Amino acid sequence: MTSTDFTRWAARLEAIGGAILCYGLVAILLYYGTFKFTAEEAKAIEPMVANSPLFSWLHTALGTQGISNVIGVAEIAIAALIAARPFSPQVSALGSVLSIGMFLSTLSFLLSTPDLWHFVEWHPLPATNAYGVFLMKDVFLLGAAAWSAGGALRAVRRRSENAGWAPTSPDRSM
């Protein structure tokens, strides 16, 4: 395999991986977003939202099912925004940035949910219950959201440069 072949192969793998990250993120948001409209899912997230400094006021105002519905609508809307990337990288960038905020919010539950962490005699690090295990996926999803935002913003820049109206960078303006 030549160096050029290797570089092309690596670029192709990177592009495939990026598409999987982007549309996998969309699929997960749609999947979990639709479940938020069920009583079972609303009950499952209640301990996290009820104890969150960011969400407890909304839980009080809307109730368990109400806040779950709002979160579901947000997840589905963000998924739709990210999925718009082939048509509008600007819209996709907005959705990706919103998903970064969403995952940072849900990761805050790791700090605010009571009884989530506990120590086990035989292990030096704290262990977590099922809520913590569920939330750990959001670390990966946060990374996918950041990758998606970066890719969408690069696509916005490329489109604007190709259209001839891109703002000049500080290097070009000198």
- Domain positions in the chain are 3-162
Closest among 105, 130, 131, 138 to 28, alpha carbons compared: 138
The predicted structure's pLDDT at residue 148: 95
The predicted structure's pLDDT at residue 128: 86
Note the pTM of the prediction, 2 decimals. 0.85
The predicted structure's pLDDT at residue 165: 56
Closest among 14, 65, 59, 62 to 42, alpha carbons compared: 65
20 CB neighbour count, 10 Å cutoff: 12
HSE-CB at 111 with a 13 A cutoff on CA atoms is: 7
Which regions of the chain are under pLDDT 70? 164-174
